[in-house]
Structure 1
């Protein structure tokens, strides 16, 4: 298991299409177990980091690998609300 400080600011890449989704800006966790349940990325746009409604939430189960500088995820773009 990783901690927020280890995940923060890592680039997130979708291995389905090779797209860079953004950098980890927050996490969601289970308050009872303390386990991370999802990573959160800012949405698209200039003010995306200020708006919670445009954020991209990626469930922990969709993470394939966590590397030194990147997090590899496997999600469909349409599930993220991203335009291709």
Structure 2
């Protein structure tokens, strides 16, 4: 599977069935070449004009299943990282 294929898949949390968004980036270990995490941009502030408030960094071990059009993950609230606060 290619990274571009991952970016077309929607990420859904199995804990609360919440749609987190689409894969925005993938984090790799440079020494081993293994995927460490997927990064999903959070919802935008004021229609997305002022950037993103949060992003979801989901470790590879929390990915439950990769389907043809969705990725099921097991994400707890503490794993949400705040990036930039919106005014």
Both structures adopt the same fold (TM-score exceeding 0.5): yes
- Runs of 5+ in structure 1 lacking a partner? none
Say what the alpha-carbon RMSD is for the aligned residues.
2.2
Aligned to 2:85: none
Q: How many angstroms does 1:54 deviate by?
A: 3.1
Task: Identify the structure with the greater strand proportion.
Answer: 2
Which structure would you say has the larger Rg?
2
Aligned to 2:27: 28
- Runs of 5+ in structure 2 lacking a partner? 83-87
TM (norm. structure 2) is 0.77
2:56 paired with 1:56? yes
2:31 paired with 1:40? no
TM (norm. structure 1) is 0.79
Residue 41 to residue 8, structure 1, CA distance change in 2 (3 Å): same
Separation (CA, whole Å) in 1 of partners of 2:36 and 2:49? 25
Task: Identify the structure with the greater helix proportion.
Answer: 1
- Residues paired across the two proteins, number: 79
Separation (CA, whole Å) in 1 of partners of 2:3 and 2:67? 14
Q: How many angstroms does 1:47 deviate by?
A: 4.2
Q: How many angstroms does 1:8 deviate by?
A: 1.1
